[in-house]
Amino acid sequence: MKSKKMIVYENLKKRIINHVLKPGDPLNEVILSKELKTSKTPIREALQQLEKEGFVENIPGKGSFVSKISFQDIREIFEIREFLECEAIKRAIAKVDLSKIKLLKEKFISSESENGRPAPSHFRSGDQIHTFIFETLGNSQLMEIYRRLQDHVVRNRIYFFDQSHPGRSEESFREHLEILEAMEAQDPLRAEQAVRNHLRNSLEYLKKII
């Protein structure tokens, strides 16, 4: 059974990631305790945990707020992803089940919309490709680090999604397909380059729209 802190933590985190609670929104313990029908203690504990993870910022004398999204934060996330994912995919290729790649590839291609342009669902499928790389390694601690990082990735993408244009969506689709095909070909250098290209192209795109 989940603790009250965990229930509150998961509730607030989900709302922050999906921008129900937007960057800069105040997080008042009294209001939240009434809304979530709990005491202020689990609210305070959840906010402290979310602050550690970078979703909440505490301003002395003013209180807690949903953290803002800065380009510096985004750049650092992409830098960490490049370090982790480029190394992970090279190692994953030695362990990967080719039948699983085939299924993942079929699922990813089917995430295209009927008019041939990638639908929003292809982003979720793209996330599954990145997660699959880490799952293949079988390192649970590394997987946990990546999942925490991915929460920020999803939050950032939802925040900027309205500004996305079809051209970048199509490029991202092709880049993910290249990652899968490089894994299918059992080519670690090609796979590493495919991941690096995708991450750097994504960052360059964000630079243009921020």
Mark 131-163 as b/e (b = at least 16 C-beta within 10 Å). ebbbebbeeeeeeeebeeebbbbebbbebeeee
**How many independent structural domains does the chain possess?**
2
Query: In the predicted model, is pLDDT for residue 122 greater than 80?
Result: no
Strand 26-27 with 63-66, pairing: antiparallel
pLDDT per residue as tens digits for the range 72-91: 999 999 999 999 999 999 99
Mean of the per-residue pLDDT values for the chain?
91
Query: In the predicted model, is pLDDT for residue 114 greater than 50?
Result: no
pLDDT per residue as tens digits for the range 129-160: 999 999 999 999 999 999 999 999 999 988 88
Query: In the predicted model, is pLDDT for residue 108 greater than 80?
Result: yes
Q: Please indicate, yes or no, whether residues 165 and 87 belong to a single structural domain of this protein.
A: yes
Q: Please indicate, yes or no, whether residues 27 and 109 belong to a single structural domain of this protein.
A: no
Which residue from 175, 163, 162, 74 is spatially nearest to 122, judged by alpha carbons?
A: 175
Distance separating the N- and C-terminal Cα atoms of the chain: 42
Give yes or no for a contact between 16 and 50, defined as CB atoms under 8 angstroms apart.
Answer: yes
pLDDT of residue 119: 55
pLDDT per residue as tens digits for the range 44-58: 999 999 999 999 999
Query: In the predicted model, is pLDDT for residue 63 greater than 50?
Result: yes
Distance CA 36, CA 32 (A): 6
Q: Please indicate, yes or no, whether residues 105 and 163 belong to a single structural domain of this protein.
A: yes
Residue 174 is part of a domain; what is its CATH number?
1.20.120.530
Q: Please indicate, yes or no, whether residues 184 and 83 belong to a single structural domain of this protein.
A: yes
Range of the domain at 144: 71-209
Find the mean pLDDT for residues 28-45: 95
User: At a CB cut-off of 8 Å and minimum separation 6, what does 61 contact?
Assistant: none
Give yes or no for a contact between 198 and 179, defined as CB atoms under 8 angstroms apart.
Answer: yes
Q: Please indicate, yes or no, whether residues 135 and 205 belong to a single structural domain of this protein.
A: yes
DSSP designation for 8:
H
